[in-house]
Structure 1
Amino acid sequence: MTTAALIVAAGRGARAGEGPPKQYRNVAGTPVIARTLRRFLDAPGVDRIVVAIREADRALFDGATAGLGAEKPITVVAGGAERAQTVLLGLEAMAGDPPDRVLIHDAARPFVSDAVIAAVIAALDDAPGACASIPIVDALRRAEAGACGPLIPRDGVWRAQTPQGFRYGPILAAHRACGDPTAPDDAEVARRAGLRVAIVESEADNFKITRPGDFARAERLLLARAGGGRPSPGPETAMETRFGTGFDVHRFGPGDHLMLCGVRVAHSTGFVAHSDGDVGLHALTDAVLGAIGEGDIGRWFPPSDPQWRGASSDRFLRAALDRAEARGFTVVNLDVTLICERPKITPHAEAMRAAVAAIARCAPERVNVKATTTEGLGFTGRGEGVAAQAAAALRGPAPGGEPLK
């Protein structure tokens, strides 16, 4: 019996606040979708994975899953505008080599356990469908004009989660016949088709990241699991924001372009540098390393090492960010100032901002690129080169789980 996992990842996550779709944002340094895929890559009983994403998000997906590894086959397909459409497209993608069973799971539930996955699979021995669910324990009331209305009986009431597992043939047929792109979940699609969907008790940690506060909740859960401090009532008791600065300079030399903040800018000269000479990315790299107390760019990428000759500087910034993320830090903001008389930076500033955001895998709103001159003073004023200064703010776990006072 073969089992495939279908990870639903085409949603926009508007309720999660500003930034890229929630599945591509970091939790303790790792994108949510990478954490979710890791759960199914590691889960016994899952043979292969299909991920349904928004076509326009392919670069985000590739960046978020770079280095994840593929112990099991992973297929990426385009999703639809609504969840039910996305699921149907994912199921159709399996039709050429159909599995016996399929687990349909939200990309924004990164903490599903092996035990819950195994329980849903096991339930399919006795029913065509199974839904991971949580029993309701709180009192339920209907709101009336902003006040408490009557109680709603909670006997037999469960909160549906994912994975929702099904025998492949029946759920494919149910989705094909449904015709309702707004169907709330796959258990409802199956129920409408007359399929029995068993309830499988799930776990509270298998929550769906939906609102901005859920990211802090997820970080607290990971911190507690890692033993990095006692679980706390709020993220401020276990997390802190750290700052770093960076500075770099390169003189002009032979060439016909400059690399500045990841953007190729046509110019009458190039840079004299061991790498591509991107002063903006070099300064940002130092700022990130400074924030986490990990030395500087020269320590990590010494100019005496021939492997860095002509290297693209996005590699340096990405490596510094990877180091920060490995320690549980995420980007709050990155700010860089380019100091030069020429070339003019303003026409390229937005492209530079977008390039830095892509390298950092963060929203462009968290990046700022600006420029200034030295009013004709010094080597930049004489048009001999370009300098850059940068600042980085990163949020991550405080040493010992306690913030600095």
Structure 2
Amino acid sequence: MEPWQEPDLYELDTRVAEVKGDAARFERTNFYPGGGGQPHDLGRVEGASFAAEVTEVWKEGDAIWHRLRTERGAIAAGMTLHLSVSRDRRQRLVRMHTAEHILFRSLQNTLAKSLSLVKISLGPERSSLYVRADSLGWGDVLAAERLANTIIWEDRAITHHEMSREEFGRFPRRAQVRINEQRVTAERLRIVEVADFDLSACMGTHCRSTGEVRSIYVLGFGQEGDSWRIDFAADATAEMLLAAGEARNASARLGIPVAQLAGRIDAMLSELERLTERVRALSLQAGSVTKEAIGSMTLVWAELQDVEQKQLVERADSLLAPGVTVCFLNRKGDNCQVLLMAKDLNIDAPRMLLGILGPLGGKGGGRDGSAMGGCPASRTAEVIPRLREALAWASRTL
């Protein structure tokens, strides 16, 4: 194992091997150079006549380079320096990386369907797994979270197996190893094992036992593109206690056990949706409709709010009659939805609506005697006057 792979090697004395501008390479380093979703380490280097902050670490071939922000003195090859990795940040990243191994394997073991890893993104505060699966729900994710925490609380040993690619070909448990052989180019492989649970090819830093992770808590979950994103944190006792407290508070207010909260919320949301639809329908029925004669035509119009498009069209259609034009102005937040329908009139509704809404910063479209569009809600009051002018002109030309 390289010094930079030692999870708790925070301090190291070494000599400067090479300097290029503001970057230095050391004979040995305990700074992780980044890779596999795990960010590089941060920290400091100090000597008798030199001190600097390490702001970036990266690998070029077998060499590891460190970007330095000099605070005093000048660095030179052969100089002896003391390297200090940021302890708290390293510990958080080590826990996160180990947690990722445990959580992904827990997802694989929990799901009866295929699951593949797209990528990981690790951070000291929160991390993310991106996976592909036929389907994934909160039930699956929470079951994996429970299994992951069981593995952590059992404090299983974490060991490493280093071998050549040829030796890996003969490794008895090769089929169980999570590895993308097309992306792994190193001549030597490092297999990280969580006892009796997981085998993964990985060059990162990991805890020495699962108990050091302390806990895994899923912060959020949802679909992103063609994959699922699962946000999580390690050593998340505070977050878990907060969630548990909020859940108990909610269960007490509803007078039901915590285990019944999700079902009750689903029922309440369903009822809310039903009532919302009912209120919208009643609002549409109760909305005052204005009728006015414009030449040989009749204009029927109304201002409404938050009515669903299907209900809007059905209501307008019920008001249509020969020689009648219907216009509904339906406010939705900062926008105003405009519906224009005409029957038995030689009116190009889409063209007329576009001519009305265009100067108001809106747009519209449709077909024949029916058009739908929108404009900023702040310009709503200008729509009907412009429509009256358009209909008056159309009435004179019919």
Structure 2 length normalisation: TM-score? 0.22
TM-score (normalised: structure 1): 0.22
Bigger fraction of residues in strand? 2
Larger radius of gyration: 2
